[in-house]
Amino acid sequence: MALALLCLANFMVIMDTSIIGVALPAIKEALGYSQESLQWVFNAYVIFFGGFLLLGGRLSDLFGQKRMFMWGFLILTAASLLAGLAWNDTVLNIGRALQGFGSALIAPSALTIVMMLFSGNPKELGKALGFWGASAAAGGSAGVFLGGVITEWLSWEWTFLINVPVGILALILSPGLLAKGTRRKGSIDIVGSVLVTAALVLIVYGIVTAEHNGWGAPTTIWTLILGLALFILFLIVQAVKKEPLVPLRIFKAPNLAAGNIALLMLSGGWIPLWYFLNLYMQQVLKFSAFTGGVALLPMTIVIAIFMIAITGKLIAKIGVKANIVIGLTALGGSMILFSTNTPVDGTFLANVLPASLLGALGMSLAYIPSMMSAMNGAKPEEAGLASGLANTSYQIGSAISLAIMVAIAATTTSAQAGGDPTAALNSGFQAAFLWSGIVAFIGALLALIFIRSPKKVGSDISKSM
């Protein structure tokens, strides 16, 4: 029951990044967003989620996992109510940012509790992480489907308000299902939290506005430089501070750094896949929001089956490294198919289903071993930090890669202005698919070089299957 609650939390946290996708046109019309500012409905959540995950992991270690899990749900529920009742674009952006902050408290606490629940029984850990991974992947895909259903048959407000009853249920069930967790002494690195979050905001803002302002514009250049400078300052603070947000020594743990890089590259390929695939189906193939959501269900089913029943056995047979490399390569191959086989007059069976299933297979194979690599080497007292770091890598990869791919798509489309607008739009999507595939292939190469696959990990999981 505790694992079911934790997986529900993970499902919600990831779903909130995708559920608003098909509702964006309705939100734009209702609240008066400009075309340029509309992207912040997505980015406000992702940036604050990714930016505060490290702080969430640290707070989880200091004050107890259950306490921060429940505080996170309290904030997420209240923020969802604010977003659903938003009367202008500023209020909605604030609501989305607060949703991201609440999720940043939930995600590392929940993952740490999962690891603690099964730490005494390694045979079951592989299965538990399978359910955990499936809940995340399903949340991303189901968010698009639910967003289509809600937008078409209810209203855009319910893409946010749906969190309220679920959040209340989680708050009611948590005291009885979850143990208090461990608490440790220490201080909170507020300066580090502000620096890393501000750096992420500036870098993503610089990328997403570059297509409008120009990559060579002073505003773009200085925004990116300032973001990078703040990130370097963050690293310096972490190196000299007595109790930093991220003790840099944690990267000495076997595979931890390589696992985080794998997660960053995996999200850098996966998130643009579902984002642009959804746009291709709705804006090029003219699917309705509901039909586009239904078209993503086969991906969700493949991910659930593989993560729960198959990936653990494959890790036992061929190791962590092989699964990550094969998974990222399959994801890259899916993107290449989408970049070359998505015509304006395409069909679901010929041009969407085969490549989407290959992408889902790649995600299923790579996610769990990447997460295991990013978590296994951490000390028990740094479990919250390691889970926060792993989730941060995934969200930062999502935000930065999507911003870059949106800019590439827009630039490619603008270069073909004057011709068929649908064909120009589709060319932009194909360019984004191509470069996202390159990201996945680079991730596979880095995993091949740097990931080590201990035999004992596969052995433990083998016994559990």
Q: Which residues of the chain have pLDDT under 50?
A: 455-465
Rounded distance, CA 317 to CA 14, Å? 30
pLDDT reported for residue 110: 79
Cβ atoms 423, 300 nearer than 8 A: no
Locate tokens 């592989």: which residue?
A: 126
Q: What stretches of 214-307 show up as alpha helix (H) in DSSP?
A: 218-240, 256-279, 289-295, 297-305
Domain ranges of the chain: 2-22+35-189+243-464, 190-242
Identify whether the C-beta of residue 344 lies closer than 8 Å to the C-beta of residue 284. Answer: yes
- Quote the crossing angle between the two packed helices 122-153 and 256-279, to the nearest 10°: 20
Residue by residue, DSSP assigns 43-58 as: HHHHHHHHHHHHHHHH
- Those residues whose C-beta lies under 8 Å from the C-beta of residue 124, and which sit 6 or more positions away, are 118, 464
Query: Sign of dihedral through CA atoms 228, 451, 396, 436?
Result: positive
Q: Supply the pLDDT for residue 255.
A: 79
Q: What is the pLDDT of residue 459?
A: 40
Owner of token pair 């995708």: 18
Give the pLDDT confidence of 240-282 residue by residue, as tens digits.
Answer: 887 777 777 777 777 788 888 999 999 899 888 877 887 788 7
pLDDT digits (tens, 9 = 90+) for 333-386: 999 999 998 888 888 888 899 999 999 999 889 888 888 888 776 666 666 677
Give the per-residue pLDDT at 464: 37
Contact at 8 Å (CB) between 366 and 232?
A: no
In contact, 136 and 367? CB cutoff 8 Å: yes
User: pLDDT at position 108, please?
Assistant: 77
Answer whether 176's CB lies under 8 Å from 40's CB.
Answer: no
The contacts of residue 221 (CB under 8 Å, 6+ apart) are none
CB proximity list for 215: less than 8 A, separation 6 or greater: none
pLDDT of residue 137: 66
Backbone angles phi, psi at 262, to 5 degrees: -60, -40
User: Which two structure tokens, joined as six digits, stand for 237?
Assistant: 């603070």
What does the DSSP assignment read for 123-137?
HHHHHHHHHHHHHHH
Rounded Cα distance, 325 and 451, in Å: 9
Q: What is the pLDDT of residue 463?
A: 38
- Domain 2-22+35-189+243-464: give its CATH architecture: Up-down Bundle (1.20)
Give the pLDDT score at 226.
93
Amino acid at the residue 453: S
Identify residue 148 by its one-letter amino acid code: G
What is the pTM (predicted TM-score) of this model?
0.77
Q: Give yes or no for a contact between 328 and 444, defined as CB atoms under 8 angstroms apart.
A: yes
Give the whole-angstrom CA distance, residue 44 versus residue 20.
Answer: 12
pLDDT confidence of residue 55:
79
